[in-house]
Amino acid sequence: FIDPDPKQIDLSARLKARAIEFHTGTYAEARTELNLQQQLEILRLGAEQASHLGLHVHMGHGLNYVNVKPIVRIPFVEELNIGHAIVSRAVLVGMVQAVRDMK
């Protein structure tokens, strides 16, 4: 679980990690369109770098039914961790519907 920082990505590869998960909290908390786009670009560049180093790329933290849409368009991302949003919605609509809505 790292920030999408080039140094942290390089170190993860040198430590022979198989996969990394980028912390998407900064993206999830972006309040302006400019900051949102900047954070998406940081995540995109990090995913590209990590993939080129042979790392499996995962992302998560603060993702929900609305803000996950741009994230799924980022190449090289293999897994998203969005359990909190799904489980929270499942309380109201059931797990099957909550997962269906996320898909």
27-64 pLDDT, tens digit per residue, is: 999 999 999 999 999 999 999 999 999 999 999 999 99
Q: What is the pLDDT of residue 67?
A: 95
Other Cβ atoms within 10 Å of 97 Cβ, number: 12
Q: Are 71 and 99 in contact (CB under 8 A)?
A: no
Per-residue confidence (pLDDT) for residue 62, from 0 to 100: 95
- CA–CA separation, 97 and 32 (whole Å): 31
Judge whether 27 and 43 are in contact, CB under 8 Å.
yes
> For residue 53, what are its two tokens?
């180093």
Residue 12 has pLDDT above 90, yes or no: yes
Q: Is the per-residue pLDDT at 25 higher than 90?
A: yes
